[in-house]
A and B are shown apart, each in its own frame.
Chain A
Amino acid sequence: DQQVKQNSPSLSVQEGRISILNCDYTNSMFDYFLWYKKYPAEGPTFLISISSIKDKNEDGRFTVFLNKSAKHLSLHIVPSQPGDSAVYFCAASGRYQGGSEKLVFGKGTKLTVNP
């Protein structure tokens, strides 16, 4: 049962345009959401996050939107640059029995930004 879904395995955009990566989740206990970026042969690096008490968080060219009623979040990159080409993972966390947390990841979306 996949609790975090990234339904688009890949996305291709032109340099300078907007990239929109989508993520859906099923578990209403999730209260914190993160986006990670991963280049080949490297570990994921943290990009941006959002708490469930907010509906938007912005950091430079990156903005994450959260729609709790739809259990949907999206990452907007504006303007997109060739260096943004990577695999983007959506992740969610929430309190589980015992008080500890764990991150649940989607399968990733490969973004290609064409010059």
Chain B
Amino acid sequence: KAGVTQTPRYLIKTRGQQVTLSCSPISGHRSVSWYQQTPGQGLQFLFEYFSETQRNKGNFPGRFSGRQFSNSRSEMNVSTLELGDSALYLCASSLSGEYNYGYTFGSGTRLTVV
């Protein structure tokens, strides 16, 4: 079966712009979580969506937002981009948010802010 698909794979944006990243979960999965990976901080949790509702949120500024659609696809948006937002953004999907099985990551979107 198809895995978690993230688009685009690479993105270059200018400071001050906004960006939207997309994540298509594994078919049947209803939970989508987003993480930011940077060399100095490892993977940091952004937020989790389940059935179109944000269930949990990490410690990121309000410039980071997300949403989930009825088909479970999710998007995250970053407004007013800063140089420090350059990172690998990963999403993970699972049936209902459980971690003991079926929690699968996509390959990520590499965002570079210049």
Contacts and interface: CB of A to CB of B under 8 A. Distances in A.
Nearest to B42: A107
Interface residues of A, number: 25
A59 interface: no
Interface residues of B, number: 25
Interface in A51-65: 51
B25 interface: no
Contact of B99 (A43, A49, A96, A108): A49
Among A32, A36, A43, A96, residue most surrounded by chain B Cβ atoms (within 10 Å): A43
A91 B106 CA distance: 17
Contacts of B35: 103, 105
Contact of A89 (B42, B45, B92, B106): B42
Contacts, number: 62
A41 interface: yes
Contacts of A46: 103-104
B4 A34 contact: no
Main secondary structure of the interface of A (DSSP, over half): strand
Contact of A101 (B4, B90, B97, B106): B97
Contacts of A36: 105
Interface of A: 32, 34, 36, 41-46, 49, 51, 89, 91, 93, 96, 98, 100-108
17 contacts: A32-B99, A32-B100, A43-B90, A43-B107, A44-B43, A46-B103, A51-B100, A98-B56, A100-B55, A100-B56, A101-B97, A102-B56, A103-B33, A103-B35, A103-B43, A105-B44, A107-B42
